[in-house]
Amino acid sequence: MIGFVILHYMAYEETIACVESILRNVKGEKKLVVVDNASPNDSYRILVERFKDDNDVDVVSSGGNVGFARGNNYGYAYINNHYHPDFVVVMNNDMDIQQCDFIDEIYNSFAMYKYFVCGPDIYASKKKYHQNPQTRKVLSKEDYKKQYRKLWIKDKLSFLFPLKYAFKSIFCKETYHSADYSKIPYIDSVVENKMLHGSCYIFSPLYIRKYPEECFYNKTFMYLEAEILHYLTQKRREKTIYYPFLKVNHHEDASTDATYKKQYKKSIFSVKCLLQSSKAFIELMNCV
């Protein structure tokens, strides 16, 4: 049996679409756990009511807005303790799965590669490119220290963000350049031990047996989960793979967009979260 953990915050229409795509398209034995991360709107009640008669879906509450890593850890521990799945798919709520043999391919991938963590082919529907495996540089501890110092300054100057965005809206025409993303190639073969995109992971029996309570490092609120997971798996010599025969679609940032209608508020929030996560990652690298 395969477990799916879907972290929800406010954007219930996206969460419903995600859950229903799995129920409708993915063949095989499965259990879905939707974790509401203390949404301040009425979406938790809406989701409970929507799926109350579906035995394959549990809607649970984290009890507070504990962030991305700990919210997913809550669902990951819940599904392992209650249902004991062979694999756990941890995915964003702004995704869908159209692949009917998704579960069969999970078992096939593990039979061949015996990995700890697998990343599927993730297609970004807005920017029209494939997000796995990650092509960006893996940063060092010194790089993160430099990033932390820059973020600290940005955070102190965040009161200027409204002026910045007001100026841009008046004097600058924002253009969207898809060419940057079109240069990122689609990889059609298995790749081992490269950084994987943080929106969807498949955790194998090897990972679940070793870490039944947590899939992510629990000291971040949001951001750098992928970087930290890659760092830890490589340090522990745990194989990760990109497997292009598993496919998901990613529509991106539904929860954050639902929370912050104004771009400058989203930017302030992002800087604060990146600052905190960078500090947590540096402290981790000092120990591991």
Identify whether 148 is part of a domain.
Answer: no
Q: Is the pLDDT of residue 42 over 70?
A: yes
Identify whether 286 is part of a domain.
Answer: no
Residue 172: what pLDDT? Answer: 56
For strands 117-124 and 129-130, give the pairing. antiparallel
Identify whether 33 is part of a domain.
Answer: yes
Identify whether 233 is part of a domain.
Answer: yes
Measured CA to CA, the distance from residue 247 to residue 119 in angstroms comes to 9
Residue 183: what pLDDT? Answer: 85
Would you state the structure tokens that stand for residue 137, as one six-digit string? 């540089």
Q: Could you give the maximum distance between any two Cα atoms of the chain, in Å?
A: 56
Domain count, the chain: 1
Residue 176: what pLDDT? Answer: 45
Q: Which of 225, 8, 201, 238 is nearest to 88 (CA)?
A: 201
Count other Cβ atoms within 10 Å, centred on residue 42: 11
Indicate the pTM of the whole model.
0.89
Provide the domain limits for residue 73: 2-133+177-259
Mean pLDDT of the chain: 91
Identify whether 270 is part of a domain.
Answer: no
Measured CA to CA, the distance from residue 57 to residue 61 in angstroms comes to 13
Measured CA to CA, the distance from residue 101 to residue 105 in angstroms comes to 6
Q: Is the pLDDT of residue 264 over 70?
A: no
Burial of 30 (0-12, 13-18, 19+ CB in 10 A): buried
Identify whether 166 is part of a domain.
Answer: no
Residue 86: what pLDDT? Answer: 99
Q: What is the CATH number of the domain that holds 216?
A: 3.90.550.10
Identify whether 153 is part of a domain.
Answer: no
Average pLDDT for 56-69 = 97
Query: Residue 169's pLDDT band (boundaries 50, 70, 90)?
Result: low
Q: Is the pLDDT of residue 54 over 90?
A: yes
Measured CA to CA, the distance from residue 6 to residue 85 in angstroms comes to 15
Identify whether 278 is part of a domain.
Answer: no
Residue 136: what pLDDT? Answer: 85
